[in-house]
Structure 1
Amino acid sequence: MEIHHIAENHSILNKFIAEIRAVKTQKDSLRFRRNIERIGEVLGYELSKNLSYAGVYIETPLGKKKMQLSYNNIVLCSILRAGLPLHQGLLNYFDDAENAFISAYRHHPKNNNNFEIVVEYFASPSIDNKTLLLADPMLATGQSLVAVYEAIKKHGTPKEIHIVAVIGSKEGIDFIENHFPKHTQLWIATIDNKLNDKGYIVPGLGDAGDLAYGTKL
């Protein structure tokens, strides 16, 4: 797996990451969602540099200009519900992409810290021989992404896979690296060192879904 750790190079991205982490700023759910969206835009821009391009002549009022445009057939798939703001940020840049949505949540059968990932919903166009962008803001244990991929691949085989995440743990990245195809690319804003005993990223930011849309039962 090729890992693109975008925050390694200082940019305005750092401001957006700082605000989604900060407890004070997190209280503004509108700003939290917008910052996730803006991070998605930055990640989408960086990702776009690795797509396939071909020369196309564009007619202007005064002549023609040859430009290099991407010809990838993109399917943008986000994990509900936390992935929605990230999805919108990517869609702002890949506005002609097809869209897919899949659900995944942690189920605690024994009411302790042990959990399994349950996938119950998947709506998607064909992904065969297309460029799949799989978006999930928090790459914690990596189990959700792997469970989602196992469900998706039953419906087709993409030509290439790009995983897009905001914050990840080293443990989670190692986990998905062992379960996704070798040439998968990970585009991640920033990486934290560890998980706590509940499988949340530390220092992370908390529960992205709750911060964006309110607490759940």
Structure 2
Amino acid sequence: MVVNLSQGHSLVSNWVAELRDTEIQKDRMRFRRNLERIGEVAAYEISKVLASQTIEVTTALGTATAEVLTEQPVLTTILRAGLPLHQGLLNYFDKADCAFVSAYRKHAADGSFEIALEYFSSPELEGRIVIVSDPMLATGASLVKTVQYIREEGEPGSIHIVAAIACSVGIEYVQRHIPDATIWCGAIDEELTAKGYIVPGLGDAGDLAFGAKIQS
């Protein structure tokens, strides 16, 4: 299943527009905060489909019943670009466990690249709700490889993927390889360049959030 958060939330559309705007992108704090906001909305929407249970809460004047999550998710993000989106999810799933993975495009001299995974830190994943955040779902290769790596550590009970902008090509790739995953995104673009970048997209989310890096 794919959920485009812009379709039902006008504020998400506003934040995506600001993420794309080359003038507004000059303000790194605002760029990070807009990614964080999308993560917060995604967390709220995801919470609606998670299992809950009824509890009793003692108040100053009596007893109230409330619905609370049956279990907390594991918030997994792809370093470094995913950190602001991850923070938005963590703001709402504030009792969640967290996992971190380093996945990046390792470029060859001919311009081709492979997805390199060099770091993974996580809690127990068997049977857990896993939410993976990455601001740009382009080819889908890094997300698929990340989930495959996660499954080597333990089979999650369910998988949710959160992206600020997703490309339809990447969505299709993820759906072929992880058919049981639910994808939540702020916007969907149709075009992907030969080098695997989303058009119109927004550029390099990691560089815009944290500064330019040395290419490897």
Do 1:55 and 1:66's aligned partners in 2 also have CA atoms closer than 8 Å? yes
Spell out, residue by residue over 1:145-169, the C-alpha distance to the aligned partner (whole angstroms, 9 max, x if none). 0111111111001111111111010
Q: TM-score, normalised by structure 2?
A: 0.97
SS at 1:54 equivalent:
strand
Distance in 1, matches of 2:32 and 2:72, equals 27
Distance in 1, matches of 2:58 and 2:20, equals 46
Match of 1:201 in 2: 198
Match of 2:209 in 1: 212
Match of 1:170 in 2: 168
SS at 1:47 equivalent:
helix
Give the total of aligned pairs.
214
Distance in 1, matches of 2:64 and 2:110, equals 62
Q: Aligned ranges for residues 1-217 of structure 1 at < 5 Å? A: 2-109=1-108, 111-180=109-178, 182-217=179-214
Do 1:113 and 1:197's aligned partners in 2 also have CA atoms closer than 8 Å? no
SS at 2:23 equivalent:
helix
Q: Structure 1: give runs of 5+ residues left out of the alignment.
A: none
Distance in 1, matches of 2:67 and 2:10, equals 26
Which amino acid is the alignment partner of residue 128 of structure 1? E
Do 2:4 and 2:188's aligned partners in 1 also have CA atoms closer than 8 Å? yes
Do 1:58 and 1:66's aligned partners in 2 also have CA atoms closer than 8 Å? yes
Distance in 1, matches of 2:82 and 2:173, equals 20
Spell out, residue by residue over 1:40-62, the C-alpha distance to the aligned partner (whole angstroms, 9 max, x if none). 10111111111101111111100
Distance in 2, matches of 1:141 and 1:98, equals 28
With 86-95 and 40-49 compared, the bigger mean Cα shift is at 40-49
SS at 1:147 equivalent:
helix
Do 2:72 and 2:93's aligned partners in 1 also have CA atoms closer than 8 Å? no
Which amino acid is the alignment partner of residue 216 of structure 1? K
- Give, in angstroms, the shift of residue 73 of structure 1: 2.9
Distance in 2, matches of 1:155 and 1:73, equals 18
Distance in 2, matches of 1:216 and 1:112, equals 20
- Give, in angstroms, the shift of residue 15 of structure 1: 1.2
Distance in 1, matches of 2:71 and 2:160, equals 12
SS at 1:20 equivalent:
helix
Do 2:129 and 2:159's aligned partners in 1 also have CA atoms closer than 8 Å? yes
Q: TM-score, normalised by structure 1?
A: 0.96
Identity of aligned residues (%): 49
Could you list the structure 1 runs, at least 4 aligned residues long, displaced by more than 2 angstroms after superposition.
Answer: none
Q: Structure 2: give runs of 5+ residues left out of the alignment.
A: none
Which amino acid is the alignment partner of residue 191 of structure 2? K
Spell out, residue by residue over 1:181-212, the C-alpha distance to the aligned partner (whole angstroms, 9 max, x if none). x3321111110011112110000000000000
Spell out, residue by residue over 1:69-110, the C-alpha distance to the aligned partner (whole angstroms, 9 max, x if none). 11123110000000000000000000000010000010122x
